[in-house]
Amino acid sequence: MEITSIKSENPKSGLKIYIDLNKCIGCGMCDDVCPFGLPERNDLGKYEILRVDLCTECSACKRNCPTQAIIMEERQGCGCLWDVKARKSGKDSCCDC
């Protein structure tokens, strides 16, 4: 039986990041490396990111996922987190790296 969620059924839905539940093995690496703890374990033991608006696109989770279950549209830039407080509060900010 194939496991699906809104995030894995429709990756073009405008989400900047989602976890493909068909590839997720529930190891928790994404949760371990996310600076904000955004990945959450669901009832099936897999991880989902429910608060995608808080994602800073640092790509730590994507780079460390052993099954490449994390799909994100990375924007151009270095992915640094120097302006994370501004981004988290909704202020427009971007590094000049």
CATH number of the structural domain spanning residue 20: 3.30.70.20
User: 11-44: per-residue pLDDT in tens?
Assistant: 445 667 889 999 999 999 999 999 889 999 999 9
Q: Let me know if residue 10 belongs to a domain.
A: yes
| C-alpha torsion 45→14→59→66, nearest 10 | 40
The residues near 47 (Cβ < 8 Å, ≥ 6 apart) are 19, 24, 26, 28, 30, 31, 39, 40, 41
Provide the number of structural domains found in the chain. 1
Distances in whole angstroms, Cα of residue 93 to Cα of each of 82, 83, 96: 10, 7, 10
**pLDDT by residue (tens digit) across 82-96?**
556 666 666 665 555
Residue 1 lies in a domain: no
Threshold 0.85, pTM exceeds:
no
Alpha-carbon span 76 to 30, nearest angstrom: 21
